[in-house]
Structure 1
Amino acid sequence: MSQQRRYFLLAVGFFTRLPVPSLPDFQESELQHAARYFPLVGVLIGLLAAIFWWLASWLFPPALAILCSMAATIYLTGAFHEDGLADSADGLGGGMDRARRLEIMQDSRLGSYGAIALVGMLLFKFQALSALTPAILPFAMITAHALSRLMAVYIMATASYVRFAGKSKPIATTLTHAELVYASVFGLLCWLGFSLMLGVNHSPAAAMRFVLLTGLPVLAIWMWWRNLILRNLQGYTGDTLGATQQLTELAFYLGLVAWEHVA
């Protein structure tokens, strides 16, 4: 249990700004074991996002409450995933070959493609969250943050790491089947639990539509993004994992908006 606690704290410390106890004798290889807890870190971030939204909703109109929640998650993660999205967009959009794309992605400066991707992501996310019924908004946040981080783990499990220098080096890892199962449980339980809750409050048919309308967009975006990075980079980088999280989080919100529209 103490070793599992260490792995969880390592995942929290690496992906968030939340304070964690000192972890002596850290080895980069430990992140292979910590990967199982990435979706659980998403649950934590989603829960905090929901709490910030709930507190802000007592003081501000709905739109401002959502913006407060979004700002809180960006602060809590240090814009880790947003930065990955922007760097990925710059590299894939501006590079003519694999070497140049990787070089651009390592550049800390924000380019046109990255700025457009980042602004577009934030606007789409805000509009999608604003379109959701407030009663399901907290559950949507928790599920989206957990499921999107699971999608990043699936990239790690099905592709090769292609950059061996830079800020993303520590997350290069090879997952075991057991670690993949752990991550899947943490990520999928939120999604399935959400669908069961909706089935109780609405109908089994509504729950099935929820699974299809939220699951298919996430899967489609994941497959498109994975194929894109494999074709252009022959694998993944830490930046592309951050982009995976952002893209699939938005895909889940959009699917949920569609579910509410047809339910």
Structure 2
Amino acid sequence: MSEADAPPKAAAATGPARRTLGDAALAISFLTLLPLPERAFAGGSMRRAAGWFPLVGVAIGAFAGGVRAAAESLVGAGPATVLALIALVAATGALHQDGLADCADGLGVRGDRERRLAVMRDSAIGTFGMLALLGWGLLAFTTLAPLTNADVLTALIAAASLGRAAALAHATVTPPARRDGLGAGFTVPTAALAAGIATAAVATALVTRDLADTLLALAAAALATAAVTAWSRRTLGGRTGDTLGATVALTEVAVLLALAAAWT
């Protein structure tokens, strides 16, 4: 083999690693407000990046749990829990809560499928959207506030990871409601779906360190996903970007409630 053959082989060897890093960077950029340089996305594909979503969720949950632990000794458990939830939402730019609010407005409006989809596309949040956000926040707060810092960290990591795996499942089993928009453009390959679900399940098992708790969290995530999927199909005719976000938010709070119930 001549020396001239070496550079192409070296480039080929680094290609998969570059694509993997690009996929991870795309997942981070899509799900969080963390600024990344444009070169970080080289070789990345959003279809493959979907498999990284639950791992990004692990980091988001760990960040929020860390905020609770850092603030608890300074301001007490209640305010520290509020700060943790603010961190959870702020890290993503309220991406999923916006979807939850829009879906609630679509649920509350009178009219046919097209009317509901039009209301959901409106950037303004209506009464039903505000009630949904209030309910989400109150459920999450009252669930987490009595828990220890260690349990809050565990619950948030499991919830954030399973919430993003739930969105992958929802996208896979629900057809698009529109021909345009995020819901139509976001498709999840089988390999990415399998990787995402496996990552979320393993992460949950590692942090809970209890088979019963892991199975309970997985069941709560499955029920929340099934509920949003059934509503999306029946009412909207399929998925949208908002139903993807609502799946994440509702799965998060369902997992938090399930784990807290098991620990009390």
Whether TM-score is above 0.5 comes out as yes
The reply on whether 1:183 has 2:205 as its aligned counterpart is no
CA offsets, 1:49-73, max 9 Å, x none?
1221121123110011111111112
**C-alpha displacement of 1:216:** 2.6
Match of 2:25 in 1: 9
Q: Distance in 1 between matches of 2:200 and 2:216?
A: 17
Structure 1 unaligned segments of length 5 or more: list them.
200-206
8 Å CA contact retained: 2:97, 2:246: yes
1:259–1:229 CA distance, 2 compared to 1 (3 A): same
The reply on whether 1:223 has 2:226 as its aligned counterpart is yes
8 Å CA contact retained: 1:95, 1:104: no
CA offsets, 1:3-24, max 9 Å, x none?
1111111111111111112148
1:259–1:164 CA distance, 2 compared to 1 (3 A): same
The reply on whether 1:194 has 2:207 as its aligned counterpart is yes
Structure 2 counterpart of 1:100, from 104, 110, 115: 115
The reply on whether 1:22 has 2:25 as its aligned counterpart is no
Structure 2 counterpart of 1:144, from 159, 170, 175: 159
Instruction: Give, as a single letter, the amino acid of the residue that structure 2 aligns with 1:192.
Output: A
What's the RMSD between the two structures over aligned residues? 2.0
8 Å CA contact retained: 1:16, 1:76: yes
8 Å CA contact retained: 1:17, 1:76: yes
Match of 2:258 in 1: 255
Q: Any residues of structure 2 matched to 1:140-179 within 5 Å, and which?
A: 140-166=155-181, 168=182, 172-179=185-192
**C-alpha displacement of 1:258:** 1.2
TM-score by length of 2: 0.87
* SS of match in other structure, 2:38: coil
Q: Any residues of structure 2 matched to 1:58-77 within 5 Å, and which?
A: 58-77=73-92
Q: Distance in 2 between matches of 1:145 and 1:25?
A: 23
Match of 2:241 in 1: 238
Which consecutive segments of 4 or more residues in structure 1 shift more than 6 A? 24-27
Matched residues, number: 248
**C-alpha displacement of 1:212:** 4.3
Match of 2:9 in 1: none
State the identity as a percent: 35
